[in-house]
Amino acid sequence: MASTVGVIGMGYVGLTLTAALARKGFVVHGVDVQPAVVESLNRGRPHIFEPGVAESFAEHAGRSVFVGTALPPGAVDAAVICVSTPVDEHTRRPNLTNLAAAARQVAESCGPDTLVVVRSTVPVGSSRRVVLPPLLEAWGRARLVMAPERTIQGQALRELVELPQVVGGLDRESLAAGLQLFGGLANRLVPVSSLEAAELVKLSNNCHTDLIYAFGNEVALIAEHHGLDPLEVIRAANLDYPRPDLARPGYVGGGCLSKDPYIMLSESGGRPPFLVEPARQLNEFLPVHVARTVVDLIRQERGSTQGARLAVLGWAYKGWPPTDDMRGTPIAAMMPIFSEAGLTVLGHDPLVTDDVVRQYGGEPTSIDKAFSDSDAVLVINDHPDYRAIRTGSVLGARRPAVVFDSWRILDEDELTAAGVRYAGIGYLPVRAEVAA
């Protein structure tokens, strides 16, 4: 059984895998090209927030977890490739440069008895087409598997153990070695017939999730057109109905859902997509639509948006489970619209640093000041701190004219009774007259 594992790429996937393996008694050699990341991890201080990871590194760094800029030659029984596979911002084509570089490093540092695992999300066929050739060129033979990462942020260390681990191999020997490795981590294994089948499993999971959320957003936009409440419609549609539930409307971001549909489409055989691309386009349109709606509401309430102050609560792409991940964050698409409207944007997030808020063009603020020092408030994510807001305690003499509550977690009745215009995704109720 492989007892010493190399993990190439200390991003979210590699970092959480390293922490989980260390907790199971493996010796792990992590690799990252950024010296600052290497130094921080060797001091037991992860650069990415994920519950349990900091504790794992504090316990194991320097004992059974070692991080460097390259694999130590001949030191690992298995090498797991966890590098990023981004898509081009303009062409939407996947960039596999990191994957190819990682495969070359493994070929140089390891040997034919090393189990090589592709864990990065890749287009179907990439493990065989990109990773295998440098291994065969260097060794003449290879043991290669594809074992996709499938966790959700906020629950990764638990899910790495509890979720079924899919493993596809180059051949029977590879598959057996891959099942043995992950049998030391996961409670349940799901062998599939090929590298390509495992690659498509990961893409199918994530693209299906994107589709589900897109339908909820479609319902919300239609409800908005008809002056209906999308949450009322969705609750009624789901109640004790024995077919799949409709998803609530909401933003769809993160490192996976914002790019994996394009990775799937890159090897779709050249036929026009029927579902995956339109769903992704809809989910990318939603933040833009909300931003424009917020601008319109401010204009209606103030007469002009120039110089208005908008407080945005929630800069990470999601609030639950909590994360500091800015990949696919709605605010990135919203800020150009706010800037064009002449808004000053105040920003708050329980996990995102003030420096990151500034990098995106915001001015850091607190929850209290968001409600007392702004003309409008936009709640983007549903972090528990925002769910805990009691509107009666944050509304003072100076209060925002508009609150756009994307997740409908604030007290609508209290806000409207205080004269605040309340709205949400797909939800634009007519403002009632406030009694004098």
Q: Report the domain count for the chain.
A: 2
| Residue 432 pLDDT level (bands cut at 50, 70, 90) | low
Same domain, 241 and 159: no
Q: Pick from 202, 175, 171, 205: which is nearest to 191 by CA? A: 175
Structure tokens at 158: 């638990």
Contact 81, 107 (CB under 8 A): no
Whole-number Å distance between alpha carbons of 291 and 48: 28
Q: Pick from 153, 163, 157: which is nearest to 319 by CA? A: 153
Same domain, 380 and 276: yes
Same domain, 171 and 224: no
Which of 142, 170, 193 terminates a domain? The answer is 193
Same domain, 117 and 67: yes
Q: What is the pLDDT of residues 295-314, one digit of tens each?
A: 999 999 999 999 999 999 99
Structure tokens at 283: 């989910």
Q: What is the pLDDT of residues 391-411, one digit of tens each?
A: 989 998 899 999 999 999 999
Contact 206, 148 (CB under 8 A): no
Same domain, 339 and 202: yes
Mean pLDDT computed over 145-159: 95
Q: What is the pLDDT of residues 116-138, one digit of tens each?
A: 999 999 999 999 999 999 999 99
What is the pLDDT at residue 436? Answer: 40
Q: Pick from 196, 136, 198: which is nearest to 167 by CA? A: 198
Q: What is the pLDDT of residues 211-253, one digit of tens each?
A: 999 999 999 999 999 999 999 999 999 999 999 999 999 999 9
Same domain, 235 and 158: no
Q: Does residue 433 have a pLDDT over 60?
A: no
Same domain, 219 and 162: no
Distance linking the first and last C-alpha atoms of the chain: 76
Same domain, 153 and 222: no
Structure tokens at 55: 């504790």
Q: Does residue 20 have a pLDDT over 60?
A: yes
Which of 159, 193, 227 terminates a domain? The answer is 193
Q: Does residue 1 have a pLDDT over 70?
A: no
Structure tokens at 114: 């090393």
Task: List the single range of 103-112, 245-254, 341-350, 390-399 with lowest mean pLDDT.
Answer: 390-399
3-state secondary structure string across the chain: CCCEEEEECCCHHHHHHHHHHHHCCCEEEEECCCHHHHHHHHCCCCCCCCCCHHHHHHHHECCCEEEECCCCCCCCCEEEECCCCCECCCCCCECCHHHHHHHHHHHHHCCCCCEEEECCCCCCCHHHHHHHHHHHHHHCCCEEEECCCCCCCCCHHHHHHHCCEEEEECCHHHHHHHHHHHHCCCCCEEEECCHHHHHHHHHHHHHHHHHHHHHHHHHHHHHHHCCCCHHHHHHHHHCCCCCCCCCCCCCCCHHHHCCHHHHHHHCCCCCCCCCHHHHHHHHHHHHHHHHHHHHHHHHHHHCCCCCCEEEEECCCCCCCCCCCCCCCCHHHHHHHHHHHCCCEEEEECCCCCHHHHHHCCCEECCHHHHHHCCCEEEECCCCHHHHCCCHHHHCCCCCCCEEEECCCCCCHHHHHHCCCEEEECCECCCCCCCCC
Same domain, 286 and 374: yes
Task: List the single range of 48-52, 256-260, 271-275 with lowest mean pLDDT.
Answer: 271-275
Same domain, 304 and 353: yes
Same domain, 182 and 242: no
Whole-number Å distance between alpha carbons of 333 and 355: 19
Which of 177, 193, 209 terminates a domain? The answer is 193
Q: Does residue 431 have a pLDDT over 90?
A: no
- CATH for 87: 3.40.50.720
- Residue range of the domain that includes 407: 194-436
Contact 137, 163 (CB under 8 A): no
What is the pLDDT at residue 308? Answer: 97
Mean pLDDT computed over 25-34: 97
Q: What is the pLDDT of residues 50-93, one digit of tens each?
A: 999 999 999 999 999 999 999 999 999 999 999 999 999 889 99
Across all residues in the chain, what is the average pLDDT? 95
CA 277 to chain CA centroid, Å, is 18
Same domain, 138 and 95: yes
Rounded percentage of the chain residues whose pLDDT exceeds 90:
93
Q: Considering Cα of 402, then 404, then 410, then 412, what sign does the dihedral take?
A: positive
Mean pLDDT computed over 360-380: 97
Whole-number Å distance between alpha carbons of 358 and 362: 5
Contact 254, 194 (CB under 8 A): no
Global pTM value: 0.93
Q: Pick from 382, 381, 383, 422: which is nearest to 399 by CA? A: 422
Torsion of CA 252, 127, 195, 198, to 10 degrees: -10
Q: Does residue 189 have a pLDDT over 90?
A: yes
